[in-house]
Amino acid sequence: MNTSNIIAPPALVKRDQKHDTKAIQKLDSAHYFHPFTDLGDSAQHGSRVITRADNIYVWDSEGNKILDAMSGLWCVNAGYGRKELADAAYQQMMTLPFYNSFFQTTNVPAVQLAAKLSSLAPSVDGRKFDHVFFSSSGSESNDTNVRMVRRYWDLLEQPQRKIIISRQNAYHGSTMAGASLGGMSGMHAQGDLPIPNIAHIEQPYYFENGQPGESKADFGLRAARWLEEKILELGADKVAAFIAEPVQGAGGVIVPPDTYWPEIQRIVDKYGILLISDEVIYAFGRLGHWFAYEKYGYKPDLVTFAKAVTSGYIPLGGVMVGDRVAKVLIEKGGEFNHGYTYSGHPVACAVALANLELMERENLPGRVKDDIGPYLAERFEELDAHPLVGLAETVGFSAGLVLVKNKATQEMFDPALGVGMMCRNHCFNNGLIMRAVGDRMIIAPPLVMTRAQIDDMMVLIRRCLDATLDDLRADGKLA
Ligand code: PXG
């Protein structure tokens, strides 16, 4: 297809230029295979074209302003349009746009960022994170974790310890190892996953898995003990590590009961297995701390990060390597045959440094902990009274809303009705990005959001819930 007449080359696209939406959609479906998308379906409907962004808003090619309550994809914690980050990238590109970290070379931003991250990661009971391994994404970082964990046990002459236990409905990425660690059955069904030596236990989702009359605290303990049962079933000497998100993000903002993490810690300690905290979504302020394990007080050996380390402005991920693993790799390891071209990419690291400085200056983790987090919780409580809402809960600066058919019995809708998608579409059409995970609606807005903007968002959320309710009543799906 000759595209030269259809859209201007990127350098000529001005900020407020009118876009030919239809032409872009046509090119999009002709050439661009999107992630996690029904490739036949998207060609028929056409994608929404996002053209620019500022603060907590994005604009589409039709000029619609949309409040982005998902921070892009859980990443733009510092908000859009931050000149400091663009300047850092520009300066670094002009100084040293790329050099690798293989073959005993290094670069200044990567060194500085590794040191900075180590200083931000709190030590628990004297366990420190003095080392960082860089990648370009969360998926790659979890692949690194699998390699590192297995290498660790090999070096300790326990090569039979291979199994990594994860949880159902977890999301740990989309590479072969990442998707295997994840607990999404739809992902396992494609590509013959999981790879060998990955096992799963059920998630700590009280709303779905709690028993009648069981307290949340008791459920938290019972859910954690599924790990112990699995370890004993597999053989404690065969288990290498347990990986978990502090709060399951992509799974629907599944918040564990307070009793869950302390019990998990007791169990991993008892059997000596490594603990991997996948903080790709929840590190860098979203739970009111730099790192999420700090909120729940557990002691991971490895911490996966990505996304908000650069506020999503440029790809960067990595693994914080705790002393226990680092010591073995350093003292016994020899060469660790693993790494990526872009490990420690100088531009990505320079942007991350500028981003962390900005987050520190604006005290974004502190705002979440003491100001906008509690305010979001307060405002979400009001949604409990809505006829469609079975559960409204927040954690840090993220939230989940369960849409139910019957408030009194908490009966869910038939999944085939796609009530969550219905609500999501109303959100989009009303200028709000809120995600649907089944019938659980979720948000994770930028951490620069003001209280007044939270109020605006709540008006939109209520409007979309009302519109969904009206649809369901009009279609006779709800009394
Ligand atoms: N771990 C966690 C906890 C994640 O949330 C990854 C690893 C993988 O990161 P990369 O950078 O490789 O994508 C993620 C990513 C969603 C959604 O639908 C969530 C993610 C990615 C794509 C979609 O909520 N999280």
208: left (phi over 0), alpha (psi -120 to 50) or beta: alpha
Residues 378 and 432 in one domain: yes
Say whether both 313 and 281 belong to one domain: yes
Tally of structural domains, the chain = 2
- Residue 468's domain comprises 49-78+364-474
Is residue 308 within 8 Å of 332, Cβ to Cβ?
no
215 φ/ψ angles, rounded to the nearest 5 degrees: -75, 160
Radius of gyration of the chain (CA): 23
6 within domain boundaries:
no
**Is residue 245 located within the same domain as residue 114?**
yes
Which residue blocks in 156-292 are alpha helix, DSSP H?
Answer: 176-181, 185-188, 206-209, 216-234, 260-271
Across the chain, which has 479 residues, the per-10-residue mean pLDDT values are: 42 60 93 89 85 97 96 98 98 98 96 98 89 98 98 97 98 98 95 96 97 97 98 98 98 98 98 98 98 96 98 98 97 92 98 98 98 98 96 98 95 96 96 97 98 98 97 88
Is 389 within 8 Å of 407 (Cβ atoms)? yes
CA of 279 relative to ligand 1 center, distance in Å: 10
Nearest to 286 by CA among 166, 372, 174, 182: 372
113 CA → ligand 1 middle, Å: 22
* pLDDT for residue 16: 57
- Which residue is closest in CA terms to ligand 1's atom 17? 250
Does residue 40 fall inside a structural domain? no
Q: From the CA of 14, how far away is ligand 1's center (Å)?
A: 31
What does the buried/exposed string (b/e) look like for 352-371 if buried means 16 or more CB atoms within 10 Å of the residue's CB? bbbbbebbeeeebbebbbee
Cα–Cα distance list, 370 to 167, 366, 367 (Å)? 31, 6, 5
Burial class (CB in 10 A: 0-12, 13-18, 19+), 256: buried
Residue 375: CATH number of its domain: 3.90.1150.10
Asked if residue 91 and residue 74 are part of one domain, the reply reads: no
Both 185 and 319 in one domain: the answer is yes
Q: Does residue 434 lie within any of the structural domains?
A: yes
Return the ligand 1 atom nearest residue 138 CA. 9
CA of 331 to the centre of ligand 1 (A): 33
Residues 304 and 158 in one domain: yes
* 273 plus 416 within the same structural domain: no
Residue 414 lies in a domain: yes
Phi first, then psi: give them for residue 9, nearest 5 degrees. Answer: -60, 150
Q: Judge if 74 and 99 occupy the same domain.
A: no
Ligand 1 centroid to residue 45 C-alpha, Å: 25
Q: Do 317 and 376 fall into the same domain?
A: no
Spacing, Cα 32 to ligand 1 middle (Å): 20
CATH number of the domain that residue 337 is part of: 3.40.640.10
User: According to the model, what pLDDT value does residue 15 have?
Assistant: 54
Paired sense of beta strands 274-278 and 398-403, if any: unpaired
The whole-angstrom separation of Cα 67 and Cα 55 is 9
Specify whether 265 is located in the same domain as 225: yes
Residue 476 is predicted with a pLDDT of: 86
11 CA from centroid of ligand 1 (Å): 30
Q: Which of 280, 310, 320 to mutate to test the pocket of ligand 1 (most atoms within 8 A of CB)?
A: 280
Final residue of a structural domain among 327, 361, 395: 361
Residue 33 lies in a domain: no
User: Which residue out of 74, 145, 291, 441 has the highest number of ligand 1 atoms within 8 Å of its CB and is therefore the one to mutate?
Assistant: 74
Question: For residue 6, what pLDDT is reported?
Answer: 45
Of the candidates 467, 459, 454, the one whose C-alpha atom is nearest the C-alpha of residue 56 is: 454
Atom nearest to 442 CA in ligand 1? 24
Nearest atom of ligand 1 to the alpha carbon of 175: 12
Ligand 1 atom nearest to 279, measured from its CA: 3
Measured in Å, residue 292 CA sits from the centre of ligand 1 at 16
In a domain, 39, yes or no: no
State residue 18's pLDDT score.
77
Domain end position, chosen among 330, 361, 392:
361
- Predicted TM-score of the model (pTM): 0.95
Q: To test the ligand 1 pocket, which listed residue (169, 171, 424, 437) has its Cβ within 8 A of the most ligand atoms?
A: 171
**Sign of the dihedral through C-alpha 171, 345, 302, 295:** negative
Q: Is residue 308 part of a domain?
A: yes
Cα of 101 to ligand 1 centre, how many Å?
A: 25
Return the residue matching tokens 């059409």: 429
Cα–Cα nearest to 236, from 245, 244, 227:
227
Instruction: Specify the DSSP class assigned to residue 308.
Output: G
Of 361, 383, 416, the last residue of a domain is 361
Query: 254 and 180 in one domain?
Result: yes
Nearest residue (CA) to ligand 1, atom 22? 73
CB-based pocket (< 6 A), ligand 1: 73, 137-139, 142, 171-173, 178, 245, 249-250, 278, 280-281, 306, 317
Residue at 18 is within a domain: no
In this structure, the residue with its CA closest to atom 20 of ligand 1 is 250
pLDDT score of 11 = 43
* Pair (246, 357) in one structural domain: yes
